Chain A
């Protein structure tokens, strides 16, 4: 096998690993999620992306996790406040803070690229970079995220800590006046 073909094989294997391992993409709009440090003093609820099953088929709803009320999930979208019964939710992606998968991906890509300078040892160092960087970036892409299918009410109650009102929506709060974080940059 020639060196070039060997490298191609490694790259293909790495690409396959990348595809198989998969990276989780973010459903939150740019500027909404705090960084990991910022999440310590961020005052809003986590971002929810819900896949909902209803009579007319599946739909997607995304917005701030406001609270859990009775057996419904309260979510503040860009247009209105919605209460979604938990049993209608097929899939949940909850994002509490930004992760650094892009940065780690760039780190691994630059690392792989830099092995051009390693001469013959690139045959070793490039795969080392790919095989460490890709799983790392993939793993990091799940940081700050919880992804689950058909969660039960207990799951929602446990994770209400990620909502704006983990104590439940107080009676004194006029829900019609709830506003979304001004996240536009």
Chain B
């Protein structure tokens, strides 16, 4: 028989629960009153203490007042003045021998209720996180920008850069940014159990004509567009999803993963009518579900205590292992392939959206091949359960754009302006800015006078290191680690049932576990 030692945290939680149930939930207030025989009436007190003229005491239960014979009746105990027990049983006590009555009414303390509620929530969170630790953590450097109503997370930087070898520059469209004035304040946060190494955080400013907008492509080219139109139909396997794709509002279309193969694909077909002439691009607002987060954390769990060795191996051999990691996370589960139906009715791939991360919605554009028809049919091919689509539109490209690079003018923590070194770090001219869980910075950028005719993008470079949790190490499995690297397709099939067990609650748990002001 296999004997497992209970996780100490489970013991703590169960102890806490036991205390709350057995002890403190029954915490009570006692109200004591005394009455003379003349004042006395029946009270809700289950016990009655009868103080006698001679100093003796009766403690009665099941008592009553017999008005006609002027007696108190009941059963209980009789004590002398030193509280030695004299007798036990039924008694009838004449009122004229009684000095005072004493009642004690016990009432529950309502103030304990909030702690009981906190206990319930906390225990549930503990049990969920202990049984499913990969659902309770995660993010990457997040940038909050004013959207006209509130600070909203609009960029998560270099989500795929999970080790130094995978350091990259990431450009995110601050699509919903509405700067109130020329001093744009962006909040940079570290909201996960991670160490973030940020080597630069530039603001890119792309000027455009009034009414136009500028979009960035997945390969970081910028285009100004002058018109934009929604699809006339959008068909997913479950039916029409066009209502989900009309605007960037986080009312998203998404599906669940396949139960036998996490790499299983699905198609969404978009049709655009009344297509304007000129060069066109498909604009897509999207982000990932937690499938890649799960795959990443599960991978770290399988590496277990050897995770440092594996990362060092990847660091040393940036050719093979780095490509293996990329192949696993971005090759097998894949991108959103964009295909356009050509004149012969064949689907032609013209690009792919592949930004990693479950937090901020990415808005990007892929230029389409020259088109003569007034109707365009586009197929989005992607892994089931991996992508959340928020927005799809067709845009007419008017020209390429070249954004200006703006370095931070100040870096603040709270109300304190930090020294030049911090500013230089984020400007890319000094050493990196290293942030720890809970860190929060405000970065100030100076905008040009005509900032209302500018599109804003965040360009950040760096990488981050996930903190391996003790619970993960328990799942160390060298065989699965090798399968993960050597046979990603098979690995995703093996992992499918395990993921399906947690998939229904994972999103909810993730967002509750973070303190993102989403």
Query: Which chain A residues have a beta carbon within 8 Å of chain B's beta carbons?
Result: 1-4, 6-7, 36-37, 39-41, 43-44, 96-97, 99-100, 103-104, 106-108, 110-111, 113-121, 123-125, 128-129, 132-133, 136, 139-140, 143-144, 160-162, 164-167, 169-170, 172-173, 177-179, 181
Docked-complex contact A120 and B515, CB < 8 angstroms: yes
Determine if B271 is an interface residue (Cβ-Cβ < 8 Å).
no
With beta carbons under 8 angstroms apart, the residue of B33, B83, B109, B514 that contacts A120 is: B514
Q: Helix, strand, loop or mixed for chain B's interface?
A: mixed
Which residues of B have CB within 8 Å of A4? 436
- What are some 9 contacts across the A-B interface (CB < 8 A)? A41-B77, A106-B19, A111-B118, A113-B12, A117-B13, A121-B136, A161-B34, A167-B53, A181-B83
Which residues of A have CB within 8 Å of B12? 110, 113-114
With beta carbons under 8 angstroms apart, the residue of B16, B27, B34, B437 that contacts A110 is: B16
Query: How far apart sit A169 and B436, CA to CA, in the bound complex (Å)?
Result: 70
Docked-complex contact A110 and B191, CB < 8 angstroms: no
Name B105's closest neighbour in chain A (CB-CB): A40
Residues 2-29 of B, flagged 1 when their CB comes within 8 A of A and 0 if not, give 0000000100110110011001100111
Which residues of A have CB within 8 Å of B102? 161, 166
Docked-complex contact B16 and A111, CB < 8 angstroms: yes
Docked-complex contact A39 and B51, CB < 8 angstroms: no
Determine if B125 is an interface residue (Cβ-Cβ < 8 Å).
yes
Name B98's closest neighbour in chain A (CB-CB): A167
Residue of A36, A123, A178 contacting most chain B CB atoms (<10 Å): A36
Name A7's closest neighbour in chain B (CB-CB): B438
B26 nearest CB across to chain A (Å): 8
Docked-complex contact B137 and A120, CB < 8 angstroms: yes
Which residues of A have CB within 8 Å of B133? 119
Q: Helix, strand, loop or mixed for chain A's interface?
A: helix
Which residues of A have CB within 8 Å of B29? 36, 143
A104 nearest CB across to chain B (Å): 5
Having A100-B24, A118-B122, A118-B125, one finds 12 other A-B pairs with CB under 8 Å, namely: A36-B106, A37-B28, A41-B49, A111-B119, A120-B192, A121-B136, A121-B514, A124-B515, A128-B118, A161-B33, A170-B54, A173-B55
Docked-complex contact A114 and B126, CB < 8 angstroms: yes
Docked-complex contact B115 and A104, CB < 8 angstroms: yes
Top 5 nearest A-B pairs by Cβ distance? A3-B438, A167-B99, A3-B437, A110-B16, A170-B55
Query: How far apart sit A102 and B20, CA to CA, in the bound complex (Å)?
Result: 12
Docked-complex contact A6 and B438, CB < 8 angstroms: yes
Name B9's closest neighbour in chain A (CB-CB): A117
With beta carbons under 8 angstroms apart, the residue of A6, A121, A164 that contacts B125 is: A121
Which residues of A have CB within 8 Å of B515? 120-121, 123-124
Query: How far apart sit A111 and B192, CA to CA, in the bound complex (Å)?
Result: 21
Docked-complex contact B34 and A166, CB < 8 angstroms: yes
Name A5's closest neighbour in chain B (CB-CB): B438
B505 nearest CB across to chain A (Å): 15
| Given A114-B123, A166-B51, CB of A119 within 8 Å of CB of B137 | yes
B463 nearest CB across to chain A (Å): 19
Residue of A108, A120, A160 contacting most chain B CB atoms (<10 Å): A120
Name B119's closest neighbour in chain A (CB-CB): A111
Which residues of B have CB within 8 Å of A115? 122, 126
Docked-complex contact A43 and B83, CB < 8 angstroms: yes
Which residues of B have CB within 8 Å of A106? 19
B473 nearest CB across to chain A (Å): 15
Which residues of B have CB within 8 Å of A111? 16, 115, 118-119, 122
| Given A107-B24, A114-B9, A118-B125, CB of A2 within 8 Å of CB of B19 | no
Determine if B57 is an interface residue (Cβ-Cβ < 8 Å).
yes
Q: Which residues 88-120 of B have a CB within 8 angstroms of A?
A: 99-100, 102, 104, 106, 109, 111-112, 114-115, 118-119
Determine if B498 is an interface residue (Cβ-Cβ < 8 Å).
no
